[in-house]
């Protein structure tokens, strides 16, 4: 399993994750307005809310901010994949004693997986076994 470059104490709130996912989707260096328009086309969130969230993410060092004229442009300081590894490792360590097998057992035993998802998991495991040979 890949080690995360993200420290366990660093985390994003659910709304910060939502905003980061919008930024990763947009690519480039979006402004607050672009994030707002992409993620909340019906104005479910206020401009100032998204601005505050993005500034908090900058403070946490997951976003970079560059001002050009009067406009702030934001870019991810961390790859999405690195964030996912960090969040997954944190969950596994906290809830499953560091065991990914315990997480897999939980998912299988919890009856939350559909038959299609189980078939996909089997396919992924077979592919991983082939790749490791």
Domain boundaries, the chain: 14-76, 99-132
Q: Is the pLDDT of residue 1 over 60?
A: no
pLDDT tens digit string along 55-64? 999 999 999 9
Q: What is the CATH number of domain 14-76?
A: 1.10.10.10
Q: Is the pLDDT of residue 101 over 70?
A: yes
Strand-pair category, 63-68 with 71-76:
antiparallel
Contact between 84 and 3 under an 8 Å Cβ cutoff? The reply is: no
Q: pTM for the whole thing? A: 0.78
What would the mean pLDDT of 48-68 be, rounded to a whole number?
A: 97
pLDDT tens digit string along 7-47? 544 689 999 999 999 999 999 999 999 999 999 999 999 99
- The DSSP symbol for 68 reads E
Nearest alpha-carbon partner for 19 in 45, 88, 72: 45
Contact between 121 and 113 under an 8 Å Cβ cutoff? The reply is: yes
State residue 10's pLDDT score: 67
Distance between first and last Cα of the chain: 17
Question: Average per-residue pLDDT in the chain?
Answer: 91
State residue 3's pLDDT score: 47
């Amino acid at each position: 399993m890949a080690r995360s470059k993200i420290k366990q104490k660093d985390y994003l709130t659910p709304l910060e994750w939502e905003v980061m996912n919008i930024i990763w989707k947009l690519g480039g260096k979006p402004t607050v307005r672009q994030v707002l328009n992409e993620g909340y086309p019906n104005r479910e969130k206020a401009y100032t809310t998204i601005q505050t969230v993005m500034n908090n993410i900058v403070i946490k060092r997951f976003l970079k901010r560059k001002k050009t004229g009067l406009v702030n442009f934001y870019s991810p300081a961390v790859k999405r994949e690195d964030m996912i590894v960090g969040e997954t490792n944190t969950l596994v360590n906290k809830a499953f004693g560091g065991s990914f097998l315990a997480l897999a057992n939980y998912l299988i035993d919890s009856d939350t997986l559909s038959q299609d998802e189980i078939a996909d998991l089997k396919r992924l495991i077979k592919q991983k076994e082939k790749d490791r040979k």
